[in-house]
Structure 1
Amino acid sequence: MMNNEYENIKSKVLDYEEQVEVESKFSVLYRTQMNELKDEINELSDKLRQAINEQKNLEDERDNLSKQLEISNVKLKTESLNLNLLQEQCAELDKEKNIMIIEVEALHTDFNGRLALLDSEINT
């Protein structure tokens, strides 16, 4: 009976040792998986930080370009107003030029008429 008990205990000890070995292997496997997952989390965290930084840089660049566009629009409107003003001034100057041409032609005609009159008085 002692032998039987001994064998029974020995069998239980072997079972326990096997169970401990299996659990130890699972523990190593879980630790390995946990380390791999930690590495993956760190890698993804780095990628997320990079993406956030890039997003901020792109937003800053967009804001900068938007401000430049606003400035360009203001300059364009100013130049357009200046162009319209200059065109109006050119039209006014063109009118004045045409009036002066008519006046000069009238003066020239009057001068030629007086000159002809003086010539006829001198010749008579």
Structure 2
Amino acid sequence: MNQRTELEKRFLALLQTPVSEDMKEVHSFHKRMNRYKDYVLTFLYHPGVPPDNNGSERAIRNIKAKQKVSGQFKTQRGAHIYAVIQSVTDTCIKNDQNILSTFYTIAKLHPE
């Protein structure tokens, strides 16, 4: 039996283990794992899928820091503009592209 199959068997066995409803957080987590069991180990079959969501957490860290410092975004439009700028910046970093050149290109394509 290969490691992947063994890991899946152990995971499914854990899901079959009853959890007391008195342990609310553990019980809730157990229910979620059962609900999404077909997706939890996706990274074992698709090497491009990370085993965690740290990338997503890092992506929202700047937004939460900005919100914490300023208390809030002043307008919905301001929040949207910030999100677009942050998204372009993060994409440039992930693709090893020059951020300033990318914004210059965008500005030339959409002069407003």
Normalized against structure 1, the TM-score is what?
0.21
Higher helix share: 1
The structure showing larger relative contact order (alpha-carbon pairs under 8 Å, at least 6 residues apart) is: 2
